[in-house]
Amino acid sequence: MTKYLLLAMGILCLVMPAVAQQQEPATKEELAEIKGMVDGINESAAEYRVYVDALRKIKISGYMQPQFRYTDLVNTSFLVGTFSGGTFPANTKNLFQVRRGRIKVNYDNNLTQFVIQIDAIQTGFTTKDAYLSIVEPWTKSVGLQMGIFNRPFGYEIEYSSSNRESPERSRFTQTLFPGERELGAKLFYAPQMGPLTMFRADVGLFNGSGPTANEYDNFKEVIGHLVYQLPFEQANAELDMGVSGYFGAVRNNTKFLYKAGDLPSGAKGFIADSTASNLNDGVGRTYVGFDAQFYYDVPSVGGAILRGEYVFGKQPGTSSTSVSASAQPATPIYQREFAGWYVYYIQNIGSKEQIVVKYDVFDPNTKISSSQFMNTNASGASGLAATDIKYSTIGFGLIHHWDDNVKFVLYYELVKNEKLTNITDTSSPLFPYAGDVNDSVLTFRMQCRF
């Protein structure tokens, strides 16, 4: 029995290698075929990678802000809500609107960027950004940007509307910088590495006519902003401080230039300077601003932000408006000395809820106080107008971040104007401002961002 067993094992030992040898060529062929397929797939992948790498440079982002607004006052004789998301149409106290509908395309080639952003809302399309930006390849800290982009002044202008906690920017920002953007070029310094990462500087030359209008005079505006960041890492806090300057001019189309002063009657008003050389002269548009933001992580609650900005200077306008002009003013220039400031407090509750409180003041004519508006003043060549009235706005808001794309904002703005108590003539266009006009606005907004 043992002999037969051993014989069988011996025969098996002889036969099995032969069988294996017969299998080897087939296995080798299959392996070679599979290797060829894998090499082919690798070659295709390498080819597709070139396309994928090119496509990765194109980034598309955007956000939309549909909202509902309500105001107590029915718009009959003057504008309501202009600085709270847009003027309410006549006889309208509440409305739905798409406040912003932005699509932004950014081609990011690391040191070169090409950006186009448009706004699509119920009234049509507008261009928001259209610029090129290049950064030098040595330190990667200094760059040049040209086209339509945010004016480098202060903090609130460049702070994206998709991030901002209040629905609208402050009154002085909307007055001095309508549209936020400007046509021009700037140099920027923004180091990402090294000992100077706490500094950032921007300085540029701009048309001064706003983002969607052509230049209308030969005066260019110099705008600059310098920022310093001071972290307190042990306390998980940081203080960022900035200083800004705006130096430009608006051409006077007439020989008349008006500035606030004492009228012959003794009342306050605008005094005309009718020197012939005023015609075609540049009327100074100069602003100086200071901004600061303090960040502090409140233990067990969430991060808190205290943010403020103060701006003062001289603003060339017209008899009826202080808003920066996007076209050559045909009428005489009224140059007003102004001051404006705001303070925000934002408290994060966990990672999804935010409480916002904002106080915003704008005095478009610091030379005139409320008691100096008299019945004898009328809007006109030497008179004060509604545009000279000081406003303060206090806003309260609740924000809920639904997820990383969607947030809901409920915000109430209590808008207060200085009371012109000496206006008693009911026929005066300023009579409604003898008391506080009830033009507060409630906004409910839904935002989706991608």
Partner 1 sequence: MRSIMMKNAVLIVASAIALTSVLRGEEKITVKGSDTMVILAQRWAEKYMSAHPDVVIQVTGGGSGTGISALINGTTDICNASRPIKPSERDKLKTRYGSLGVEIKSARDGLSVYVNEQSPVKELSLQQLKDIYTSKTTNWKDVGGPDEKIILYGRENNSGTYVYFKDNVLLGDDYSSSMQSMPGTAAVVNAVAKDKWGIGYGGAAYGKGIREVKVKKDEGSPAYAPTLENIKSGNYPISRFLYLYVKNRPTGALKQYIDWILNDEGQKIVSEVGYFPIR
Applying CB under 8 A, the span of 21-29, 218-226, 302-310, 371-379 interacting with partner 1 comes to 302-310
Q: Which of residues 79-98 bind partner 1 (CB under 8 A)?
A: none
Q: Give the residue with the Cβ less far from partner 1, 262 or 353.
A: 353
Cα–Cα distance, 278 to 41 (Å, whole number): 76
Which residues, in sequence order, are bridge partners of residue 294?
A: 239, 306
Residue 350 Cβ, how far from partner 1 at the closest point, in Å?
9
Residue 133 Cβ, how far from partner 1 at the closest point, in Å?
14
Residue 351 Cβ, how far from partner 1 at the closest point, in Å?
5
Residue 49 Cβ, how far from partner 1 at the closest point, in Å?
8
* 8 A C-beta contact, residue 343 and residue 307: yes
Q: Of these, 305, 323, 339, 378, which contacts partner 1 (CB under 8 A)?
A: 305
Cα–Cα distance, 433 to 428 (Å, whole number): 10
- Report CA-CA distances (Å) from 401 to 81, 261, 404, 445: 26, 50, 7, 12
Helices (H), 56-192: 171-176
**Quick one: DSSP state of residue 159?**
S
Helices (H), 334-385: none
Give me 2's structure tokens.
Answer: 């043992």
Q: Give the residue with the Cβ less far from partner 1, 5 or 404.
A: 404
Residue 60 Cβ, how far from partner 1 at the closest point, in Å?
16
Closest-CA residue to 221 (of 151, 169, 126): 151
Contacts of 54 (CB under 8 A, 6+ apart): none
Q: Which of residues 14-73 bind partner 1 (CB under 8 A)?
A: none
- Report CA-CA distances (Å) from 102 to 50, 82, 127, 167, 362: 30, 21, 10, 15, 29
Q: Which of residues 222-261 bind partner 1 (CB under 8 A)?
A: 231, 233, 236-238
Applying CB under 8 A, the span of 74-82, 192-200, 281-289, 356-364 interacting with partner 1 comes to 192-200
Residue 109 Cβ, how far from partner 1 at the closest point, in Å?
12
* 8 A C-beta contact, residue 410 and residue 444: yes
Helices (H), 145-239: 171-176
Closest-CA residue to 115 (of 149, 142, 161): 149
Give phi and psi for 105, each to the nearest 5. -115, 125
**Quick one: DSSP state of residue 368?**
-
* 8 A C-beta contact, residue 150 and residue 158: yes
Q: Which of residues 87-146 bind partner 1 (CB under 8 A)?
A: 110, 140
Q: Give the residue with the Cβ less far from partner 1, 108 or 281.
A: 108
Residue 307 Cβ, how far from partner 1 at the closest point, in Å?
10
Question: For the chain, what percentages of helix, strand and coil (3-state, to nearest 5) are there?
Answer: 15, 45, 35
Residue 229 Cβ, how far from partner 1 at the closest point, in Å?
8
Site string for partner 1, 337-376 (x = CB under 8 A): ---------xxx--xx------------------------
Is 197 among the residues that bind partner 1 (CB under 8 A)?
yes
Give phi and psi for 81, each to the nearest 5. 85, 5
Is 192 among the residues that bind partner 1 (CB under 8 A)?
yes
- What is the torsional sign of CA 276, 280, 281, 287? positive
Q: Give the residue with the Cβ less far from partner 1, 23 or 233.
A: 233
Q: Of these, 304, 343, 394, 448, which contacts partner 1 (CB under 8 A)?
A: 304
Is 296 among the residues that bind partner 1 (CB under 8 A)?
yes
Applying CB under 8 A, the span of 10-18, 115-123, 278-286, 290-298 interacting with partner 1 comes to 290-298
Q: Which of residues 375-404 bind partner 1 (CB under 8 A)?
A: 401, 403-404
Q: How many residues bind partner 1, per CB under 8 A? A: 29
Residue 137 Cβ, how far from partner 1 at the closest point, in Å?
8
- What is the torsional sign of CA 65, 445, 341, 86? positive
Applying CB under 8 A, the span of 13-21, 24-32, 191-199, 256-264 interacting with partner 1 comes to 191-199
Residue 112 Cβ, how far from partner 1 at the closest point, in Å?
13
Q: Give the residue with the Cβ less far from partner 1, 163 or 421.
A: 163
E strands in 318-424: 333-349, 353-363, 391-401, 406-417
Residue 110 Cβ, how far from partner 1 at the closest point, in Å?
8
Q: Give the residue with the Cβ less far from partner 1, 93 or 401.
A: 401
Q: Give the residue with the Cβ less far from partner 1, 125 or 402.
A: 402
* 8 A C-beta contact, residue 273 and residue 332: no
Q: Which residues form the interface with partner 1 (CB under 8 A)?
A: 110, 140, 159, 163, 192-193, 197, 231, 233, 236-238, 295-297, 299-300, 302-305, 346-348, 351-352, 401, 403-404
